[in-house]
Structure 1
Amino acid sequence: MYHGTDGPLSVETNPHRHPLCEKFIEAAVSVGHRFNPDFNGAVQAGCGYYQATLRNGRRCSTASAYLDPARSRPNLTIIKQALVTRVIVEKGRARGVEYFADGRRLEVASTDGEVILAAGAIGSPHLLMLSGLGPADHLKAKDVEVVADLPGVGQYLQDHISPGTISGWVKDPDAVYGQVPLKFDDAVTEFEETGGGLLATHYLDVGAFMSVDPGEAYPSLQTFFYPGISEFCRTDGVPDRRRFGVGGYVCKPGSLGSVTLASGSPLDPPIIDPNYFSDPNDLRLSIELVRKDREILNAAPFNDIRRGNATPDTDDPKGIATFVRQNASTTWHPTSTCRMGIDERAVVGPDRRVNGLEGLSVCDASVMPSMVSGNTNAPVVMIAEKGADILRSRRI
């Protein structure tokens, strides 16, 4: 059994599928990628439709799945527009957090229980370092008093980097896309009234997992297909009826970056250095991803709607490398900056507690020992579920 059937977080395959998504699957199969009806089943490799956290065709976020049902609880207080500035540590134990309320008043939330950081792979290491928990030499250089020397805080940052969008250009936009709303408000109204239209997508409805090197135990590349009109839901702009595109990333990148303090002030954003392509294998695999994506978009099933070849229109590794370096971008999957483990690099132990301190845990993507080979949303929810179980067990 590969899927749960209950629980607060709903998972569905998007019922609204643009016809071009079927074209993508047909093209991918024609160049050797087998159809996979379930990426979360027995095998990951192949092409098919992505499942997403949806309920009845609408986003099932962690807010709707977990927070909304708990809003009326007497032991829950939600404070919006708050900026946490540091964890308060007294005699080797976390006692609360300090925060700006409404961007103005400095407040304190105290506890005799446990403080849990869930600010993500950027925010959590930033808060730890502001609180004196991190690489001692770095903290001293930023005039932050050292509470605990934890060299791994902010280190080992990993992220899935996209090599850029590979585009197929449409011969006849009216034939492929038809007439679509040109105003975002009109698209919102259509979705609210019918559940369909331009916004009835999670943007990446279909794609593939692909291997590069012989003998790979798991696919090394993930790719996504999107009609040009899907960009509308991300930009609140004008649908791009001129093209369709493919993007993706290397599933298990080797490059390691860092999150460090710009200063000891919580008002200064941290310095984020993803250090992309510091591992040359990441660039090699990104080049192969572009090649495979181009092969799919140039396949015969797209011939009746595609004008010319997909761009970048080159198979030369140097040319593709230039394209990648000019167009690469994050896919917003940062992880591993407060990595969990039992070695000297670990920031938290298997129980999620911060090493060398009582009463403080981290529970977000930052604790992943290494990057997962796919999207990070569901794994982070799993981390939170497990963290909640661990916290309950400590209170029994």
Structure 2
Amino acid sequence: MKISYPVFKSLLALSLGTLGVCMSEFSIMAILPDVAKSLSVSIPEAGHFISAYALGVCAGAPLTVLVARSRPLRSILLGLMLLFIVGNAMTALAANSFMMLAARFIAGLPHGAYFGVAAIIADKLVEKAYSVLAVSIVIAGATIANLGGVPCSTLLTHLLSWRLAYGLVACVGLAVIICVLIWVPKLPGLKNSGFLEQFRFLRQPQPWIIFMAIVLGNGGIFCWYSYVSPFLTDVSGLDPSKMTLVMTFAGAGMVLGNSLSGKLSMRFSSSAIASGMQGIMAVSLLGLFFAGEYLIISLVLLFLCTACLFGVSAPQQMLLLQNARGGEMLGAALAQVGFNIGNAMGAFFGGLSIDAGNGYASTALIGAACTLVGCLLLAFYGRHHA
């Protein structure tokens, strides 16, 4: 049984939500110098805005389980989107760094839960053989965000203001609500087995192995990617006016990686796909450390990094969902928690290295080491637990 047209429309509606969520998350990395200048903070200090968003993601997943674990799935999505709109509207209106930190935290609250609930809905709408493919369609919105949404935000920032860019993100949230109401079917909530029962699966080692691999893999990438704009301009010699074009190029890598991952899932295990792609990320980051001053090499390795970053997303999401019996909502959201803990740690430690005077290239070396350990954890899982 292939994915039917009505189901495909439902997946597209869910995908529009991941587009909006990831525009919110990733846009700031491309416009970080503009935001820092506007709010009168240094670039490493502005990196805390990225960390605040990631911390919101980590808090939002267990809060959603506590408040809405047994509610109808579509209703949960709509509530999360309302919170998303509020957080991004506050971001656009932030007058100082404290308000910006609070706004980014609130904007991050629905992120992990949205991905988690969307993954559960996608899984329920198709046969098991198509689960990873369905989830990759949902995650495709995140790749389109980086292909078109983030460059659009970057262009708006350079032409007018970064505040308009986040006003646009809030408007995407309104479109998501309309599409979810029209195209996503009403599905019953998950079985309410109690709040503590949702965490029982965490007694097993498998979800922790996957979770740590996600944290280390994403942490490694975002140690470097959080500062991609100053790295490319200061280390590789990129003309700042070309940054919008480069972010489009990076987004194309994400689209390709996610699409390739969905196709590979019909032939290979999720753990094999994830470990292989994280290995490529580690090698690419090492290449950026040693050869980052060459612009062409940096752009090729940027493409590989972003392709693999989203190539591992759907397989890792499904690995956690498969290892979360009885706590599916938390398990599905936990992948995004892991991604964003990694984002926060990466941005933080990358900023520390820059503040210590090691330069932007040092972030790639730290990232390569973290990503390699994550790759080894996934390989261990595939050998002993898959």
TM-score, normalised with respect to structure 1: 0.22
- Larger strand percent: 1
- Larger helix percent: 2
